[in-house]
A and B are shown apart, each in its own frame.
Chain A
Amino acid sequence: MNFNLDHFKESLIYGLIYLPNTLRLVFIPLVIGLSLGTLIALVRVYKVPVIGSLLALFVTVYQGVPIVVALMIYNLIFMLKFNDLAAFLHLKSEVSDVNNIWVGIFALSLTSVCSISEAIRGALLSIDKGQNEAGDSVGLTKVQTIVRIIIPQMIPVAIPMLINNVVGLIKASSVVMAIGIVEIVAGATIPSSRTYAFFEGYAAAAMIYWAFTAVVEGLAQKLKKYTGKFRRNLYD
């Protein structure tokens, strides 16, 4: 098998053209995931009655669902039922008007809410109970304790796992090609359907993702140094 550099370059360009789609598919679910995920983690860690256990159930069950299968099911339902739903809500839109990238964003958001809430919960649990008592003893309210004491300590612990999540999200975004949304992988293999240089197409997609995640990790490293500067650690 020969590696054709021209095909590789062409695929690289095509992949990059569709980078903005991947960015949308990552950024929106990430924002939703961080806000709802933190909320869910706090609700669960502080054991808010009923809601806490319901959320725990949801997160635990939903994390078992592979995103590809979830996506396929949402897409099938979206194609079949969206027109009915729009009519019911008196919306003047039809399924043909709506870009199905929103189905992808929906599926990725649900996944990221679950995984980010787990990462943050893990970090919260690593903080000793004594920290809460310390907050109480100096007269802070519960919210103040969380915001000023718990969260700042939680962040450095959570960051490695959060990076995992962000990177996971970037990569998971490639599965939306299964429902016809063109992102990096699908974009990079567009020239391949003409040239049959699929290996070059996948290699180009890999390079784009690698560069993308390297940038994210680079930023994350800086963040980690900044947030973790009061923690002594031999290995860093």
Chain B
Amino acid sequence: MGKLFAWDRFYENIPKILPYLSVTFSIVVYATVFGVLLGMVIVLVQIKKIPGLSQLVKVYVSFMRGTPMLVQLMLVYYGIPALLDPVLGTKINREWGAVNFAYVTFILNQGAFLSAIFYSAITSIPYGQTEAGLSAGLTEFQTFYRIVLPQMVKTALPPFGSDLVGLFQNSSLVFLIGVTDIMGRAKTIGTATKHVLEAYVLVVIIYIVISLSVRLVFFRLNNKMNYGKEEIG
């Protein structure tokens, strides 16, 4: 059945796949920006223990964290219009492109995941720190902003970076609801040309480059924040 991998096919794929990076990036940008905001709201609701809302948020986070992305994409794609259209009188079912549902799914998913990261970062800081702040005459907000937040950001940074890398990879699932991103394009090239390995390898390389760049940025950030505390070892 011929050669499994041929370099000329690999090179031919580059101009076919690269333009679809814009789809991958737009999903990641939307999911991160709005996911961070949503995550912060969720953490606030959890820490303040707002009655009713905090239970609701708990169920929501647990569902988002507890079910596969693939399944969530399907449920949002088919379920959200079925829920919203009759109530709001909208027609998003037919008028929204699949990519919009992908944005919504990833924002909802990231919001839940980031809230878990933020929450565990906040709770990893001993309460003694807050007591120290308060006893030194700072207000609660000042204590949070000047003492808790900087430490929290530092703890949250590495998982946030991993999350971002994971987000890039998860975005490849949107192909299943008909959005063509780089992975989707690789598969369709496989269909059209009958050779898929070269396209997959190219996609792997693209993802590795993205992930290394993200990691480099976070490594730099992390180093900047590493004051006042030495690593063990």
A and B directly contacting (CB within 8 A): yes
CA distance A150 to B231 in the complex (A): 12
- Among B6-14, B29-37, B207-215, the one that faces the other chain is B207-215
Cβ of B62 under 8 Å from chain A: yes
CB distance from B204 to the nearest CB of A (A): 5
B133 at the interface (CB under 8 A from A): no
How many A-B pairs fall under 8 Å by CB?
Answer: 156
B15 in the interface, Cβ–Cβ < 8 Å? no
Given the interface pairs A72-B200, A73-B204, A157-B124, the reply to whether A209 lies near B67 with Cβ below 8 Å is: yes
Pick from A47, A60, A61: contact of B233, CB below 8 A.
A47
Q: Is the CB of A69 within 8 A of B207?
A: yes
Asked if A161 and B159 sit within 8 Å, CB to CB, the answer is: yes
* Residues in B neighbouring A213, C-beta threshold 8 A: 62, 65-67
Taking a contact as CB atoms under 8 Å apart, the answer to whether B232 and A129 are in contact is yes
A47 to B116, CA, bound (A): 30
* Residue contact A63 to B232, C-beta cutoff 8 Å: no
Whether A118 touches B158, Cβ cut-off 8 Å, given contacts A45-B233, A203-B75, is yes
Which single residue of chain B is at the shortest CB-CB distance from A45?
B233
Q: Is B26 interfacial (CB-CB < 8 Å)? A: no
* Complex Cα gap A95–B157 (Å): 44
Complex: chain B residue closest to A159, CB-CB: B120
0/1 interface trace, chain B 118-132, chain A, CB 8 Å (1 if under)? 001011101110100
Please name all residues of chain A whose beta carbon is closer than 8 Å to the beta carbon of B65 when the two chains form the complex.
164, 167, 213
For residue B47, which residues in chain A have a CB less than 8 angstroms away from its CB?
A: 235
A68–B68 CA distance with the chains assembled, in angstroms: 13
Cβ–Cβ contact B78 & A69, under 8 A: no
From B74, B172, B212, A66 is in contact (CB under 8 Å) with B172
Please measure, in the bound complex, the distance between the C-alpha atom of A210 and the C-alpha atom of B72, giving whole angstroms. Answer: 11
B126 with A125: CB separation less than 8 A? no
Assess whether A210 is in contact with B229, with CB atoms less than 8 Å apart: no
For the complex, is A226 an interface residue (Cβ under 8 Å from B)?
no
A194-229 CB mask vs B (1 if < 8 Å, else 0) is 000011001101100110111001000000000000
Q: Which of A70-120 contact B (CB under 8 A)?
A: 70, 72-73, 76, 80, 115, 118-119
Q: Mark A113-137, 1 if CB is under 8 A from B, else 0.
A: 0010011001011111101100000
Please list the residues of chain B having a beta carbon within 8 angstroms of any beta carbon in chain A.
4, 47, 62-63, 65-72, 74-75, 78-79, 82, 113, 116, 120, 122-124, 126-128, 130, 155, 158-159, 162, 165-166, 168-170, 172-173, 183, 186, 196-197, 200-201, 203-204, 207-212, 215, 229-233
The chain A residues found within 8 Å of chain B, CB to CB, are 1, 45-47, 60-61, 63-70, 72-73, 76, 80, 115, 118-119, 122, 124-129, 131-132, 150, 157, 160-161, 164, 167-168, 171-172, 174-175, 185, 198-199, 202-203, 205-206, 209-210, 212-214, 217, 231-236
